Amino acid sequence: MDAQQLIKEQVTSNPVVLYMKGTPQAPQCGFSSVTVQILKACGVSSFLSVNVLENPEIRSGIKSYANWPTIPQLYVRGEFVGGCDIMREMYEDGELQKLLEGLVDPL
């Protein structure tokens, strides 16, 4: 399976997917750290995270998959949402919480 096929399978088989540098427990860049914090603030603690630093093909492939040049990248229900700045704006406007409705982990 090539990188594009793998990415497509990941984003369509999981409700929330975050392509990031590092892991949610140990982010390797500030932007990745912020995106994990935003997801947690929205009540989402269970999501597929893909550490692009472990796979150069995924790292370059994800940029062309959504035609988006930076990482992290968030996908919800198979759709590209955006990177850190877009997530931050959507969170501040309440849009991200609405998008993630139904995917929030119960308390």
CATH of the domain at 64: 3.40.30.10
pLDDT of residue 1: 75
- The mean predicted confidence, pLDDT, of the chain is 93
CB-CB contact of 38 with 13 (8 Å): no
CB-CB contact of 43 with 102 (8 Å): no
| pTM for the whole structure | 0.94
Residue 29 known to bind ligand: yes
CB-CB contact of 26 with 79 (8 Å): no
User: Distance of CA 19 to CAs 39, 41, 64, 74, 83, Å?
Assistant: 13, 18, 13, 7, 9
DSSP 8-state class, residue 53: G
> How does pLDDT run across 29-39, given as a tens digit for each residue?
999 999 999 99
Residue 105 lies in a domain: no
Residue 104 lies in a domain: no
Domain that holds residue 67: 3-99
| Mean pLDDT value of segment 92-107 | 82
Residue 107 has pLDDT above 60, yes or no: no
**What total of structural domains would you count in the chain?**
1
Residue 106 lies in a domain: no
